[in-house]
Structure 1
């Protein structure tokens, strides 16, 4: 199952602490494998700062704060069959802050947020308990394949 992941970061945003593009590709592919998707897939990952993350969250979700990941599934016209899944926006400062607060490696949190976002692109959600349990189980499975601990396990 080929997956193309286009990674870019906001102008002026330092690359420090941000994983390489091949890491995002690996994490996206792992998420797709967790749901047994075999078709070719394509998505973009855009890394932003807090100001842009806040503006995007305010504009698209009416929430006035920067969040860790925003997911924008591709909305293709009926009959158009392309491998596009959509776009992920990751807010680097929020991901870094959460990783520190949760005492986990920054790279592991980026992996989790990428997998979480890809699942959203595929239609998974966590608004209802049963859906949240299903989505979290898929995240755990994908992260375990990467050797990353269960992010929902409480100490």
Structure 2
């Protein structure tokens, strides 16, 4: 699956906020205010419930780092920062959590107004090399090799070493 990552404007260049940027920021501010009002109406949680939820969040590991892309974004407030999004997202401003708090001025939420992909957060680990000599299919029923199998492998390895010595000296 190949994703084409989009870009919008130049985060590091000059940027003039558009009417759409102002509208999106007003909408984000309105949603954040509504959520705060609704949370304020909810009954307080007990210490036990808070601890239970904390354990639940702590146990969630999430996807590994190589599943994320790093993006450079310009926020509504004008500050530039890097954010990480799942590599399946073609833009950093898609979906839930698209608006971010600004690390410099604290504006929360701050709408993303320009962005460009920087690259993967991490490279996936190399697949382990599988040796064809010690595969389970060549082993006995208990996973142990017989004396005859070990002697045959030993002879083959000695012959290979001897052949390599001859090629080096030639």
Q: TM-score surpassing 0.5?
A: no
Tell me the TM-score range normalised by the shorter chain: under 0.3
| Structure in which a larger fraction of residues adopt helix | 1
Per the normalisation by structure 2, the TM-score is 0.19
| Higher RCO, Cα 8 Å, sep 6+ | 2
